[in-house]
Structure 1
């Protein structure tokens, strides 16, 4: 990393951990970041970097590929397996010493996406407008995380990380399909990931159902069941929805900061409005009633027997 204005350089970075996903909010003066071929060979290729540029501009050159120029609103994804030269140019109506580059970054393991880095070569290092389609949904989500992320507790953070990676998968699936670079197997995997992400984001809605999921993805109900069953080892969509709701409720019941929230309210916040249905399903899944489970977990957390 280098700058031609060391005397006025300023920078800051805020890091938020969302399970295996890391959200980075950075702001800095103009900067150049270079990775040589030798450095790329030593780098960890098992991590993807997604960046949403908010202010300033980037000029990215990866190996022998043409230079890509990114402006505010652009999204791009890379890994560290290729040498690169990134020039970040600050902008603003303030004096040059106060001009900034602002960006939101997302780092996560390659294993969380249904494709390898080689399969993503067609879209890596390219800029995509974050104002439309799946890219727009992802950009809005990243902006929301930047604003509200610090409010997340330890219980919610990993689930939010899973949701944002599902949005990344939906965005990349759309771009890969447009490039004709998505195999049938990868296409089905991406569709299943999008389905899971949609369900995760709508668990609070009592109306969430397989029909609603199918309609949101513009596919028939029978095709939804076939794809989801293939990608989930035979588990049905309805069973997965029910299991996810119960698991979210179980986590809330074991959270000491939510001890004042009534059991029926915990169920309702995860889309189960009938307390009797919740109690019966919870006991079948965990062997205890919701209240018995909460009392046991709170006693354990407090050091009781």
Structure 2
């Protein structure tokens, strides 16, 4: 399990909730002024997940105002960039003389060294916050500073990839080992750097390793989304990303875990098929039809690959799952 702290307002007396939450935000992000019309009985749930020197915090709370002032900056500045993947609600962000609105599936950015105000809309907020020390971002400061405050989208491109990474990592945080936290922090930092560079069309300013890791993540996401297409193979994956097959293989070799792009594709198809075999809604669907739906051109090849991966045949796996479901009365 990744290092994590949880804050739930219902565990505190109503009168203490808002002040305790403000203290936690000062520690997680930076000291700030906060106010809310719901402060007397504030409701908030927050987790703080540590990824080495970076932090991720999924947060749900009632509407409020965050304010970073010049006085607070002089008092304490952790010199960090903040990014929020907004899942519900909206925020009206004032940076300098300009105010912009960031809504659901937007990516909001701020800088602990700048004066700003974030005023939430009328509905509760849900977002995943990210804190990255400026010194860790593999992008020239002059470039990163130009992105702060812009409207960025989590619906396409690197923004969508970042949103997927954050959502999966938060949902699966208990399945990772503590030793994996620094690696996940590096992946997160690379994705934010690529997002910033893409917003400025300056990807050439990224270090090679950052570009390589981001491209590999993009390819893995592409495979997850398209694995069911039987026409998808190594050459078509390379073509979709405008790289050669040899370079595609080299990207995965440099991951250092012994996984090839072909194995990633096969594993994804097998996992999709395995879930179908478990699903009561697909109980009457023949195994060879499930195999075809999940990208396998030949039923025999599917059976061999499934047996190699799960030490049983697809038919036997389904039979065991059905018997277990019947015995437990589920499904």
Structures share fold, TM-score greater than 0.5:
yes
Q: Which residue of 1 aligns with 2:300?
A: 276
How many residues are treated as equivalent by the alignment? 260
On the 8 A contact 1:205/1:270 being kept in 2, the answer is: yes
On the 8 A contact 2:93/2:118 being kept in 1, the answer is: yes
Alignment partners' CA distance in 2, 1:56 and 1:282: 48
Q: Are residue 57 (structure 1) and residue 108 (structure 2) matched? A: no
Among candidates 244, 262, 282, match of residue 238 of structure 1: 262
On the 8 A contact 2:138/2:207 being kept in 1, the answer is: no
Among candidates 105, 114, 119, match of residue 89 of structure 1: 119
Distance 1:179 1:219, change over 3 A: closer
Among candidates 75, 80, 84, match of residue 107 of structure 2: 75
- Deviation (angstroms), 1:211: 1.9
Q: Are residue 100 (structure 1) and residue 96 (structure 2) matched? A: no
Q: Are residue 130 (structure 1) and residue 177 (structure 2) matched? A: no
- Deviation (angstroms), 1:120: 5.4
Aligned residue for 2:210, secondary structure, equals: helix
Aligned residue for 2:148, secondary structure, equals: coil
Aligned residue for 2:272, secondary structure, equals: helix
Distance 1:267 1:185, change over 3 A: same
Q: CA RMSD in A?
A: 5.2
Q: What is the CA deviation profile of residues 121-142 of structure 1, one whole-angstrom value per residue up to 9, with x for unaligned ones?
A: 7448823433596256469989
TM normalised by structure 2 equals: 0.56
Alignment partners' CA distance in 2, 1:108 and 1:251: 32
Q: What is the CA deviation profile of residues 189-240 of structure 1, one whole-angstrom value per residue up to 9, with x for unaligned ones?
A: 1111111111111112222112222122121222112212222544331222
On the 8 A contact 1:31/1:87 being kept in 2, the answer is: yes
Q: Which residue of 2 aligns with 1:119?
A: 137
Query: Quick check: which one's helix share is greater?
Result: 2
- Deviation (angstroms), 1:274: 3.5
Q: Are residue 208 (structure 1) and residue 232 (structure 2) matched? A: yes
Q: What is the CA deviation profile of residues 157-208 of structure 1, one whole-angstrom value per residue up to 9, with x for unaligned ones?
A: 75xxxxxx99996564253462655221222111111111111111122221
- Structure 1 residue runs without a partner (length 5+): 61-65, 91-98, 150-156, 159-164
Q: Which residue of 2 aligns with 1:197?
A: 221
Alignment partners' CA distance in 2, 1:216 and 1:290: 31
TM normalised by structure 1 equals: 0.60
Distance 1:78 1:88, change over 3 A: closer
Aligned residue for 1:248, secondary structure, equals: helix
